[in-house]
Structure 1
């Protein structure tokens, strides 16, 4: 019995031929943004207008989305800030 798994030449060459491509950017709707950042709708739009939150994109008259990476970067920027003393 062979202890090493056997791969066909097709699967091995396919792995080498296709470089790792990053996934395409995801777009998030408002309910998912709210869940991720823990802010209410009004706070999100207030901070957007002040330039303190990523801008949304319009996909149509009633469809607004945010780019996932921009939301993730915003979360990281908040997490990287030092804690404020509770005094």
Structure 2
């Protein structure tokens, strides 16, 4: 059926997933989103991008990164921005 929606997670699980997502690095967020979308199959990318408030392209990039044997940026992790004080 083309109009069939993805059966997502229960609301309590979604909340736990969102909490976990906020604790991850940028790279790990992409990959986690990719894994969750892959588990859901068709329509999973849109569902997960909405759940986490990220662009579907980010989810797809996470999926691609998971297929790589080597991580080209294994030593790079962006620090979370704490706030913009004094223009920083």
TM over 0.5: no
Q: Give the TM interval when normalised to the shorter protein.
A: under 0.3
Give the TM-score normalised by the residue count of structure 2: 0.26
TM superposition score normalised by structure 1 = 0.26
Q: Which has the larger radius of gyration?
A: 1
